[in-house]
Amino acid sequence: MGNCFGSPSGVDKEARSKHQDIERQLKADKAELERSVKLLLLGSGESGKSTILKQFKLIHGVPYTDSERMSFRPAILGNLLAGGKTLVDAMERLNIPYETQEAQRGIDAIRAAPNAYGEGEDVPKGVSDAMQALWADPGVQACFKRSAEFQLIDSCQ
């Protein structure tokens, strides 16, 4: 039997230990919050808000995780296909001839390709070969040099 001034019981010691752990965690969380900076980026769609965040990560040496890199894949493939389709259309509109048979054979595969592929979805070999042949074609390179005459996405090169 203890009195008012006796040592705390085992339950009280356990509660005090938990309390101290919680207080320590709260202090650590507060210090972390004080070190962090929050930034609100406003802008219309496609104005570069996500790009700024990605640049911050790269500038400060924070590498992308494998899942982040894989999440970029559909956008990259979509940009490649959009650029290829735009170049095919511009070649026709500007009356620029293809200089290789490989590029000419790949036109149908490029036009028939979907505009996007999912994260785990592979691009068919016929489409990837057609895109490589298209870009290697000197006529397409001449068309690319005239990209001021048609709208081509910035990432196409």
- The predicted-structure confidence for 23-65, as pLDDT tens digits, reads as follows 999 999 999 988 888 888 898 887 888 888 889 888 988 888 9
Helix (H) or strand (E) holding 117: none
10 pLDDT above the threshold of 80: no
Residue 3 has a pLDDT of: 54
8 pLDDT above the threshold of 70: no
Residue 142 has a pLDDT of: 95
Cβ atoms of 123 and 77 closer than 8 Å: yes
Per-residue pLDDT of 61-111, as tens digits, reads 888 899 888 888 898 898 999 999 999 999 999 999 999 999 999 999 999
Mean pLDDT across the stretch 132-157?
91
Cβ atoms of 15 and 9 closer than 8 Å: no
Segments in 36-124 forming alpha helices (H)? 49-59, 66-93, 101-112
11 pLDDT above the threshold of 70: no
pTM assigned to the model: 0.65
End-to-end CA, the chain = 83
Cβ atoms of 127 and 77 closer than 8 Å: no
